[in-house]
Amino acid sequence: MEFAFDLSAAVAVIATLLAISSLDPVHALLYLIVSLLAVAMVFFAIGAPFAGILEVIVYAGAIMVLFVFVVMMLNLGRAAVEQERRWLTPRVWAGPAVLALVLLAELLHVLGRMPAAAGIGEGTIGARAVGAALFGPYLLAVELGSMLLLAALVAAFHLGRNE
Amino acid sequence: MTEATTLPLEHALILSGILFALGLLGILARRNILFVLMSIEIMMNAAALAFVAAGSRWHAADGQILFILILTLAASEASVGLALVLQIYRRFGTLDTDAAGELKG
């Protein structure tokens, strides 16, 4: 379990790093899909198979395909890669990298002082338990989620019109 | 026996923190609005990972329910954001975030 977790965590970090530093949007999207699949593997390793399956189907399967379709519709080509190369100079990303590293170091410091090492991944929380909780105490959240999706549908339809 | 199958909660939280910091770096450093949207997805995914790990720690399904809600949020955010990307590209001919600096109706 720990082996699978560490390996897929390393894959996720490397793929995310390549995704945010890639010049071509298509390459970045494909790296991001690899990263999401690695996170799905992490979910399987820590005993949350339903979350892992949803990560593969919805995140990597639906949202990323939406991104790929939009990139195909934009039809960017070579000029966009050249523009990215001009934008992504070390002077641009050095400052944000230092700031993000400082925040990450603080977080790691706080996590290092956490008292006892609590174990995860002992049991499995399957789809049955998740579904029972989802349509029991969390029913109102499901309804609110459906309203949110409806609002997003109307907004995307309105904004995507070709007037 | 359980020692072999469990792993500390800190590892999952550290992974979540690293992914979140990478998403933050992407938002701060990139000017292409498509990459900014992708970095937001990375950050939401990292937050969802922290929720699922915490749910696994306390043997509760609540973490995965929060994951599903974050998934809903990410899907709606991506659809609205990508519709905006298409409009911006149609009107300004570029994906530079500075091009949309003067928003008007």
Q: Which residues pair with B32 in a beta bridge?
A: B96
Mean pLDDT, chain A, as a whole number? 90
Does A50 contact B64 at a Cβ distance shorter than 8 Å?
yes
Residue among B5, B45, B74 whose CB faces A39 most closely: B45
Cβ–Cβ below 8 Å for B76 and A96 = no
Asked if pLDDT for residue A103 goes beyond 70, the answer is yes
Are A138 and B65 in contact by the 8 Å Cβ rule? The answer is: yes
What is the residue-averaged pLDDT of chain B? 88
pLDDT given for residue B1 in this prediction:
39
pLDDT tier at A74 (50, 70, 90 boundaries)? confident
**Helix, coil or strand: residue B59:** coil
Confidence category of residue A89, pLDDT binned at 50, 70, 90: confident
Q: Sort strands B7-8 and A119-120 into parallel, antiparallel or unpaired.
A: antiparallel
- Is the CB of residue A17 less than 8 Å away from at least one CB of chain B? yes
Within a 10 A sphere around the Cβ of A31, how many other Cβ atoms? Answer: 20
* Separation between Cα atoms, residue A152 and residue A155, nearest integer Å: 5
List the 90-109 stretch of A: residues with Cβ below 8 A of B.
92-93, 95-97, 99-101, 103-104, 107-108
Greatest alpha-carbon pair distance for chain B in Å reads 64
Q: Which of A159, A142, A33, A56 shows the shortest CA–CA distance to B86?
A: A159
State the average pLDDT over residues B19-30.
94
- The pLDDT, as a whole number, for residue B2 is 46
Read off the tokens for A73.
Answer: 């519709």
Q: What's this model's pTM, rounded to 2 decimal places? A: 0.91
- Note the pLDDT tens digit of each residue in B58-91: 888 999 999 999 999 999 999 999 999 998 888 8
Whether residue B79 and residue A153 make contact (CB cut-off 8 A), yes or no, is yes
Buried b vs exposed e over B74-92: b needs ≥16 C-beta within 10 Å? bbbbbbbbbbbbbbbbeee
Q: How confident is the model at residue A55 (pLDDT cuts 50, 70, 90)?
A: very high
Residues A21 and A87: their CA atoms lie apart, in Å, by: 11
Is residue A57 within 8 angstroms of chain B, CB to CB? no
